[in-house]
Amino acid sequence: MELLRLENVTKRFGGLVAVNKVSFTVEKGEAIGIVGPNGSGKTTLYNLINGVYFPDEGRIYFEGQDITELPTHARAPLGMARTFQIPRPFGGATTRENVAVGAMFGHAKASVDEALEIADEYLKLVGIYDKGDVEAARLTPLEKKLMEVARALAMKPKLLLLDEVMAGMNPSDIDQLIELLKRVKEEEDISIVSMVEHLMHAITKFAERVIVMHQGEKLLEGPTMEVLNHPKVVEIYLGKKVV
């Protein structure tokens, strides 16, 4: 079953083409990695899927519905959730309230009381339950990332978009997070798209399929190990020019 489909999506900023004719699909319950160096158009791609920007060309479908020009706020209730590369907590509110906001306005569409319970559940899951009453602005960088994962999961999404969520974490934290994501993905049947710049090691443990972005274009797509060992990918990451 197809969950998300991008068809020839293009986004330009002035003269710069940030994303160029990118097409791919995400199946229900799938784990995909999007790999690409800085400036390869990964974050723009997320912003297009998310509705922060609208594409100049191409269409985007979610569960068969054309969402190309759907406003941002209307996408989360359909079952979309994301984290940010630099975490964006609602700093003045408590960690619990942050996660509850996700449950209230995301696909879960919970009432305030339900949302606060869901929040506790996911705070326990990611292991920061004891920080529930702390102002989110005072969390450590790692805790902020975990809070964002909890907030996104509390939305009960069908599609979870992770933006460099493992960057800056130590290996044991990464392993823990990957285990957690794998478990949630199985239990709640979520498709997860995870975007990374480096961390090839992490992506091999997690993604079933990998898409490689380069200079705004989709360079390669296929099974994880196959793609990551492809000569073109090796070239990009050794800094050589791709022909």
Binding site for other proteins (CB under 8 A): 14, 50-52, 71-77, 82, 84, 88-93, 97, 100-102, 104-107, 111-113, 115, 151, 155
Under a CB-based contact definition with an 8 Å cutoff, are residues 34 and 217 in contact? Answer: no
Residue number with CB closer to other proteins (55 or 89): 89
| Shortest reach from residue 211's CB to other proteins, in Å | 22
Residue number with CB closer to other proteins (8 or 72): 72
| Shortest reach from residue 112's CB to other proteins, in Å | 6
Q: How far apart are CA 2 and CA 61, in angstroms?
A: 10
Residue number with CB closer to other proteins (113 or 187): 113
Residue number with CB closer to other proteins (58 or 106): 106
Q: Give the pair of three-digit tokens for residue 31.
A: 């784990």
Q: Give the pair of three-digit tokens for residue 34.
A: 């999007």
Q: How far apart are CA 8 and CA 212, in angstroms?
A: 16
| Shortest reach from residue 135's CB to other proteins, in Å | 9
Determine whether 235 is exposed, middle or buried from the number of CB atoms within 10 Å of its CB (0-12, 13-18, 19+): middle
| Shortest reach from residue 238's CB to other proteins, in Å | 26
Residue number with CB closer to other proteins (97 or 164): 97
Residue number with CB closer to other proteins (93 or 178): 93
Q: How far apart are CA 238 and CA 141, in angstroms?
A: 29
Q: How far apart are CA 205 and CA 198, in angstroms?
A: 14
| Shortest reach from residue 233's CB to other proteins, in Å | 30
Under a CB-based contact definition with an 8 Å cutoff, are residues 96 and 123 in contact? Answer: yes
| Shortest reach from residue 232's CB to other proteins, in Å | 31
The DSSP element (H or E) to which 236 belongs, if any, is helix 231-237
**DSSP letter string, 191-215:** EEEEEESS-HHHHHHH-SEEEEEET
